[in-house]
Amino acid sequence: MDSLVADELDLQLLQALQLDGRAAFSRIAGVLGVSDQTVARRYARLRTSGGLRVIGVTDGTRLGRTRWYLRLSCTPDAAEGLATALARRPDTSWVGLTSGGTEVLCVMVARSRDERDSLLFDKLQRTPRVTAVSAHCLLHTFYGGSLGWFTKSRILAPEQVAALAPPPVDPPGADPVVLDATDELLLAALERDGRTPVTELRKVTGQSESAVRRRLEQLRRSGVLFVDVQFDSGLIGYETKATLWLTVTPSALASVGAALAEHREIVFAAAITGPSNVVAVAVCRDTSGLYRYLSERIGALDGVQQVETAPILRQVKQLTYEGPR
């Protein structure tokens, strides 16, 4: 990548895209008070030099699917190969290396019980040099999904946020949303590029532009589809990432989760099954910042009994596999 020094306008654009990744450059430009061409140039620069990706994400929970957080302990020589193999699977959405290269973390969203059991009880158990497998079912998300990290930057004024905010998402229905073949094609195309124009989506799906627009609106309003922003946080001064495994008193789960959701450092937080009943991902400027966050903010939360910290050394996959990074 070329060197990049992000300025205030870059950060404004990142938050604008987090709010609505499919917003037209003209709409973003009007809110930011710059020209359409300036927004287009900045977007291209962030993609080239900062690894910016705007992608469509399918929320499996709206489809009745269950998410699992897997901790896989292995010998150091096996970690990267295992992470790469998991990243190629269509049922994994996030894969990372932690703990000095001896642990692989993986988020799996299985379409069926058989698919889940095949990975947990068959493939992983038979994988050479995997020394332990720990699976945690995600019960409730406190922060994450469409509420990305850049939502917390607060570099945009409240009136700018309101101008860019997409329509509200409907509450979950009693029954899961059912996708058809056209929906699957649409979602797959948006996973590759969340800003794919409707003219291209029409070609992919074989539907008219008006039909594509209607279905996009329905998928976003139902919560099945949201648009996320991926960007190298190290390029804006946040170099240290860590997974936090918290053991929390059951009666304090809701209050601790709500507090984590408000913390600037937290990218993701959820209640899970297992001895550590909350998992979170924190992003800090450096290791000193992580220490202060753990000692001053996590340490101050009533109900937190124990914290295990696992630095994230490398992110191998985030929804779409592009090889180890």
pLDDT in tens, the chain (325 residues): 345 778 999 999 999 999 999 999 999 999 999 999 999 999 999 999 888 999 999 998 899 999 999 999 998 888 999 999 999 988 898 999 997 778 999 999 887 788 887 887 778 878 888 999 999 999 999 999 888 888 888 899 999 999 999 889 999 888 999 999 999 999 999 999 999 999 999 999 999 999 999 999 999 999 999 999 998 888 888 999 999 999 999 999 999 999 999 999 999 999 999 999 999 999 999 999 999 999 999 999 999 999 999 999 988 988 764 444 4
The predicted structure's pLDDT at residue 3: 57
The predicted structure's pLDDT at residue 301: 97
The predicted structure's pLDDT at residue 4: 72
Question: Which residue spans within the chain are E strands per DSSP?
Answer: 53-58, 66-74, 92-98, 103-110, 130-143, 225-230, 240-248, 266-272, 278-284, 304-318, 320-321
Can you tell me whether residue 256 is helix, strand or coil?
Answer: helix
> Among residues 90, 128, 87, which one has the least CA distance to residue 105?
87
Can you tell me whether residue 7 is helix, strand or coil?
Answer: coil
